[in-house]
Each structure stands twice: as C-alpha cells, then as structure tokens.
Amino acid sequence: MTESPKNQSSDNRAESWPNGLGRREWLAYSAAFGAAFLGRQGLSAESEAPPSAAPRAKEQSPPRRYDMKKSINLWAFPYPDQMSLRDCFQLAKTAGFDGVEINFGLEGEFSAESTPDEFRAIGRLAEEVGIAISGVCSFLYWPYSLTHADPERRERGLQLARQMIQAARLVGTENLLVVPGAVYVPWLDDVEPVPNDVCERRAREALEKLLPEAEQAGVYLNLENIFANGFLFSPQEMVAFVDAFDHPRVQVHFDTGNIMQYQFPEHWIPILGQRIKNIHFKEWDKRTREFHLSTFRTLLDGTTNWPAVVEALDRVGYRGYLTFEYFHPFQHFPEALVYQTSDALDRILGRK
C-alpha cells in the first residue's frame, strides 16, 4: 500500500535535525562541504542552540623558531615567459627568501647548450641580487633516466648528469638533485618497465661513474625520493642504498610531498637523519584520491603536519634550505604565490 503524501510529510518532519533541515538535506550538504564546515555555519546535526558562553581562547606561547633557510624553486615563477632570471631572483629576494633552486633543461638560459661562461654569469647575477642558489634540479631525469631500458637513453642521462655537476659548480652551489632511477614512468604507456633489481644495479653503476666528478667539483649527489618511479619506496630502502656507497658526496634530497599520498614525511626524517642534505617542501592533501602534478598545493592548504615535520628536521640537526617546489605559477598576479609562500614558511619556522 502506497503512503499518502500526508504520511510522507509527517515522516520527513520526524527525521528533521534540530536546525530544521531534513535528514537527507543535511547529509547532502555534509557530503558536499563536510560536517565541520556546516558546524561552523551553525548547521550542526546535533543542535542549533548556541553555546551558553563563548569558550575562552587559549593563551598561546610564542612559536618556536627554527634555524633553517627559505628557498623556492624557479618553477613557481612564470619564467621565462613573463619574467627574466633577474626578475625571479629579485622577486625572491624582496619576498624574503634566502635562496632559489634553478632547473637545468635541454635548451635555454641554464641548460645543456649553455657555456661555462654563461653558467658563471648566472652565479654572478645571484650574487649581485644578494640571493643564494640553493641547488640545481632537473626534469630531464625522467626522459633520460639513468636506469632506462634503452642504453642510448641511459648514456645520454649520464652525459646530462655530468653537465649538471659542472653547472652546479659554476653557478656556486654544492647541491645537485639526482633521481637515481625509475622502475617505470606512470604517465607513459609505451615505455618498457625496468625490473627492480635491474633498476637498482643500473642506478648504482651510474652513480659510481658520476662520483669522481662530483667529488672533484665539490658537489653533492642528493638522491630524491619519488614514489611515482617505483623505486626506493621506504626510508629504510633509501638509507641502505645511500649507505652502500660509503661516500660523503652521496646524500639525500628529501621531498615531503612525494610520499604524502601513502606515507608521512615526519616518519621518514628520523630514519634518514643526517643524510638529508637538501629538501623540497611540497604540500599534499590526503583527501585527494589521485596523483598528478595539479594535486600538489600551496603551502598550508593541505594535510601535511608541518609542525611535526620541522620539529623532526630540527631533531636530526638539519639547518639547510627548505625549498618550495610548485609546478604552476599563478596565471594572474604570479608574485602573489611567491609572497604567500614566503609568509607560510615564516609561520612554519616560527618567525610569525
């Protein structure tokens, strides 16, 4: 027997929350915006009655200050389309950064086609502006992986890495980020995957070849953790891989965001310890159930436990650069991202 509209209306009133919304209506709002957000609007499921007295605000002690340096990767700037290298350095300096991480490409101002004098000129430009070059980074480790199935690609990768070592030396930084290898590249369907043991062997062989040049140049080969490459998934694996070289020039470039989909950076840091030579700060939101470059966020707009991260870094004695890495300069008012990031780092470091 079908219920009459009168009975349906009566049931709906019976299922109403104290705030007057129907149960289904409240659940729909909750699914879209979250129960916590609704509660802040006075639309809690439990009660709409205001508290009898406002809670007393907690007295906050001054934030703890951490002795680490602020840096930003050049990918966060609209370079070279809208800004020159000088513009980027000057903006970073004005915004309060201590350093800028620059990216080595196949072509361009800082690339495989640059001359030694051009590399030196970039170093002098940074000195003139009054900002350090905190490290050298590169996307080229993906298409020219040191563990690629194609031996010609591997050889080209070694050639480029050698050029990066010299480029780092000439611009005046001791830090070179190195992606040691990849089992596979998740965004390329037609690239042959490399077995894990073969990947490890090839990566080890490549780094052994690079080490004499790195030592002579005074450059550290800082190995980055990247879960998307299927290699060195845990801090224990990274430690074992790095320690097997027994060489002071092989260290770790720790990236907080690259493990956030499945793990927690504050758990890695005590295990990596003083092997950490340089760092990427990338924001991630664990509520995002997918991975692509657009899922990385601006600092503090995610679920990273930054107080725990900097406390863990402090405990292992880290005093180096914290480099914000972000792949999408703001389309409008790009300088806002730079200032926003500087402010966020100040707060994370207890300066505000």
Residues ≥6 apart with Cβ < 8 Å to 23: 15, 16, 17
Burial class (CB in 10 A: 0-12, 13-18, 19+), 147: buried
Query: In the chain, which ranges are continuous DSSP H helix?
Result: 5-14, 23-33, 35-40, 85-95, 116-129, 151-171, 196-217, 235-243, 265-272, 306-315, 335-348
**Given pLDDT bands bounded at 50, 70 and 90, which one contains residue 211?**
very high
**Given pLDDT bands bounded at 50, 70 and 90, which one contains residue 42?**
low
Given this model, what pLDDT does residue 9 score? 44
**Given pLDDT bands bounded at 50, 70 and 90, which one contains residue 118?**
very high
Between these two residues, 48 and 201, which has the higher pLDDT value?
A: 201
Q: Which residues share a beta bridge with 270?
A: none
* Torsion, CA 97, CA 270, CA 259, CA 246, rounded to 10: 90
Domain 69-348 sits in which CATH superfamily?
Answer: Divalent-metal-dependent TIM barrel enzymes (3.20.20.150)
Can you say how many angstroms the Cα of residue 225 is from the centroid of all Cα atoms in its chain?
11
Residues ≥6 apart with Cβ < 8 Å to 89: 100, 125, 126, 129, 131
Residue 10 has pLDDT above 50, yes or no: no
User: Tokens 């703890």 appear where?
Assistant: 64
Q: How far apart are CA 169 and CA 176, in angstroms?
A: 9
**Given pLDDT bands bounded at 50, 70 and 90, which one contains residue 50?**
very low
Three-class SS state of 11:
helix
CA-based Rg of the chain, rounded to a whole angstrom? 25
Q: How far apart are CA 39 and CA 18, in angstroms?
A: 13
Q: How far apart are CA 163 and CA 170, in angstroms?
A: 11
pLDDT in tens, 154-167: 999 999 999 999 99
pTM: 0.86
Nearest CA-CA partner of 26 in 47, 10, 5: 47
Average pLDDT score over residue span 275-299: 87
- Do 121 and 170 meet the contact criterion of CB atoms below 8 Å apart? no
pLDDT in tens, 327-345: 999 999 999 999 999 999 9
Given this model, what pLDDT does residue 60 score? 67
Average pLDDT score over residue span 238-260: 97
Given this model, what pLDDT does residue 31 score? 64
Q: How far apart are CA 35 and CA 33, in angstroms?
A: 7
Between these two residues, 129 and 2, which has the higher pLDDT value?
A: 129
Average pLDDT score over residue span 16-20: 59
Average pLDDT score over residue span 195-217: 98
Q: How far apart are CA 72 and CA 343, in angstroms?
A: 12
Pairing of strands 276-281, 99-103: unpaired
Domains of the chain, by residue range, sit at 9-53, 69-348
**Given pLDDT bands bounded at 50, 70 and 90, which one contains residue 20?**
low
Between these two residues, 88 and 190, which has the higher pLDDT value?
A: 88
Triad 160, 163, 169: Cα angle to 5°? 145
How far, CA to CA in Å, does 162 sit from each of 88, 139, 237, 245?
26, 15, 25, 18
**Given pLDDT bands bounded at 50, 70 and 90, which one contains residue 3?**
very low
Q: What is the mean pLDDT of the chain?
A: 89
**Given pLDDT bands bounded at 50, 70 and 90, which one contains residue 52?**
very low
Average pLDDT score over residue span 290-309: 88
